[in-house]
Amino acid sequence: MRIQVVILIVGMLVSWSYQARAESELKNDTNLPSIVETDIENMDEPLPTLPSVERAEVSEKIVKDIQIRFLNNKDKWVDEKGRPIEGRTQKNFIIDNLRLKPGQIFRNDLFQKDVERLRRLNSFDKVNFVLEESDTSLNIVYYIKESKFPSWNFGGGDNGDVGLYGKVGYRDANINGLNEQLDTSVQVSGKDVQFDTSFVSPYRRGEPSRLGYSFRAFRERDLSRTFNDEIKLSNGSTAREGRFGGSVAVLKSFDDWDAALGLNYTRISLRDRDYNLARVDRLGSPLSVSGTGIDDLVTVSFAISKDERDRRSNPTKGSLLTLSTEQAIPIGLGKIASNRLLANYILYVPVSFIGSNGSTENTEMIALNLQAGTNIGEFPPANAFDLGGLNSVRGYGGGRVASARSYGLASVEYRFPILRRVGGVLFADFGSDFGSSKTVLGEPGVLRGKPGSGFGYGLGLRVKSPFGLIRGDLGISDQGEVKFEVTTGQRF
């Protein structure tokens, strides 16, 4: 395991301030009959089916009122003096995200979607509800625990490119109480300063005439996965990739679809260990379209997505579909005019082979991920699809399966509970370049002996910690390579 992973985890621990979670139950504050999820620890469990909704007399009930109550660290919605807890999020913003409004007839399907939509917001940690029924109407009371923002994280490590480095990051996903998101990080080493900053002001359903917007600026460098060290540069150095640029986009939602239209700029440079430009590798193969070692990508992108997951963090059911296209405009070095198409589909299916085993943090399920992409026209070889690695075909090193014009990737996971906050995973990944690696400029994957397709399988652990989900995967490739890697978050 690399030193940088260990130091990063230590840095995250230093930045985290633990506050003990109190066990409590939500209590209905009226005498009206209600359907209640009372266990705060379990309040992100899949929503129950409301049996009374199927009866005609109940289905005609009118939503009289919708109330928003915020929870504190003790899962209470009032303080010691009986005053309601104040949240950062604007209540009107929450109401605007709901389809079921006061004055409408209660519909279970709309209610389920409303709760799932709230649970997908970055600014909320947990969302619970109480339904208060009378003879002719009902009130909906949402109990919301906001995520702990803003947050800082600190890390560092040692890698084969820049050596020792330190890193600091800042994130807030609820600026102005409107789910606006700022995410920035800076990494400093003896060789370089890297940064990545993004801001998102989402589209607001309550203001249909207002477009959301986002922007990003970045500068990054790393060892190249396309031009890895099977073939080095003429001076014996392994190729480095530097990327610098930014993007702006406008955002809008159409019913259940979210869309983004963006203008993007990226300068890709290939360099040696001293960060001097490299035009060709040791065999004389070109590293860029322009022949200078630098390619400019000016693109117009369009993406649509449909998110039907029950929640954003560690979903238990539902699906996510994303489709995108990115057209390059022939401006700058290389005068590139290619088009890049991508599709990504994720499906979560709850199963009950072994039962929950008392776990509320790790739901038993089958998770499926299908990806595909292609580049049309001439494109920078550094922008090839690199298959292999912990977020691709596990068991292989990063980019060791293929560097391709087109690709397909299929992954399946069986996720199951072990302990309350510990889950297990059995996984299998398969990726292929469909024979397209030979059409990439300079054939970097072919010359480096990458097989073009690969299969990996294995098992892993998922540990829910105070600073996020820790993932450890032991992967075995079809070529007998074994890799154990640790990172954060689910594979998909």
For residue 221, what are its two tokens? 């460098």
| Cα 21 → chain centroid | 26
Confidence of residue 296 (pLDDT cuts 50, 70, 90): very high
Rounded-to-integer distance, Cα 432 and Cα 112, Å = 38
Q: Exposure string (b/e) for 91-106, b if CB count within 10 Å is 16 or more?
A: bebbbebbebeeeeeb
For residue 292, what are its two tokens? 């200078």
User: Residue 434: helix, strand or coil by DSSP?
Assistant: coil
| Cα 394 → chain centroid | 18
Identify the top-confidence range among 25-34, 155-164, 256-265: 256-265
Average pLDDT over residues 37-46: 39
Give 39-43 contacts, CB < 8 A, sequence gap 24+: 40/71, 40/75, 40/126, 40/128, 40/145, 41/360, 42/360, 43/126, 43/127, 43/128, 43/143
pLDDT confidence of residue 447: 96
Query: Would the pLDDT of 406 be above 50?
Result: yes
pLDDT confidence of residue 466: 80
Rounded-to-integer distance, Cα 25 and Cα 34, Å = 14
- 89-125 tens-digit pLDDT: 999 999 999 999 999 999 998 999 999 999 999 899 8
pTM: 0.84
Counting every residue, how long is the chain?
A: 492
Rounded-to-integer distance, Cα 229 and Cα 450, Å = 12
**Which CATH superfamily hosts domain 6-146?**
membrane protein fhac (3.10.20.310)
User: Residue 436: helix, strand or coil by DSSP?
Assistant: helix
Rounded-to-integer distance, Cα 481 and Cα 346, Å = 27
Strand 385-387, strand 212-223: pairing: unpaired
Decide if 66 contacts 102 (C-beta within 8 A). yes
3-state helix, strand, coil in the chain (%, to 5): 10, 50, 40
Rounded-to-integer distance, Cα 262 and Cα 38, Å = 43
Closest CA to 87 of 177, 150, 151: 177
pLDDT confidence of residue 160: 78
- 168-210 tens-digit pLDDT: 999 999 999 999 999 999 999 988 899 999 999 999 988 888 9
Q: In which residue are the tokens 């978050």 written?
A: 489
pLDDT confidence of residue 359: 54
Pinpoint the residues of the chain covered by CATH 3.10.20.310: 6-146
pLDDT confidence of residue 420: 85
Q: Which residues have CB under 8 Å from 159's CB, separation 6+? A: 2, 4, 165, 223
- 387-404 tens-digit pLDDT: 999 999 999 999 999 999
pLDDT confidence of residue 356: 64
pLDDT confidence of residue 358: 52
Strands (E), 391-467: 402-404, 406-419, 422-432, 453-465
For residue 474, what are its two tokens? 């032991």
Kindly report the number of other CB atoms within 10 A of residue 352's CB atom.
Answer: 8
pLDDT confidence of residue 47: 43
Decide if 115 contacts 40 (C-beta within 8 A). no
CATH 1.25.40.80 fits 211-488, yes or no: no
Query: Would the pLDDT of 275 be above 80?
Result: yes
Rounded-to-integer distance, Cα 87 and Cα 115, Å = 18
Sheet holding 62-70, edge to edge: 34-36, 124-133, 137-146, 62-70
User: Residue 388: helix, strand or coil by DSSP?
Assistant: coil
Rg (the chain; Cα; Å): 25
Pinpoint the residues of the chain covered by CATH 2.40.160.50: 211-488
Query: Would the pLDDT of 278 be above 50?
Result: yes
Confidence of residue 357 (pLDDT cuts 50, 70, 90): low
